[in-house]
């Protein structure tokens, strides 16, 4: 009975792993498009506006592994 009762939590964990992997590969694995920086624009651009700021593949992979 214990093994049968453990199937539901194991299935839910597997489902969460699948969904997180699918989201990670769809969004976080895409590299930002290469852009030619404008010298004038680079000084006024904030950190949130930089193309590489939102590329979080390694960070999200580590967090996904830790949480599932």
Q: pLDDT per position in the chain (68 positions), as tens?
A: 888 899 999 999 999 889 888 877 777 767 766 766 666 655 566 777 776 777 777 777 787 778 76
- What pTM was computed for the model? 0.52
In-domain check, residue 51: no
In-domain check, residue 1: yes
In-domain check, residue 46: no
Domain assignment of residue 13, given as a range: 1-30
pLDDT score of 39: 60
pLDDT score of 40: 60
In-domain check, residue 16: yes
Distance, CA of 28 to CA of 54 (rounded, Å): 8
Domains held by the chain: number: 1
32 touches 51 (CB < 8 A): yes
58 touches 64 (CB < 8 A): no
In-domain check, residue 48: no
């Amino acid at each position: 009975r214990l093994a049968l009762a453990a199937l539901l939590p194991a299935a839910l964990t597997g489902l969460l792993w699948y969904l997180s992997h699918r989201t990670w590969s769809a969004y976080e694995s895409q590299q930002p498009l290469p852009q030619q920086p404008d010298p004038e624009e680079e000084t006024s651009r904030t950190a949130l506006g930089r193309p590489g700021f939102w590329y979080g593949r390694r960070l999200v992979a580590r967090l996904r592994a830790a949480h599932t």
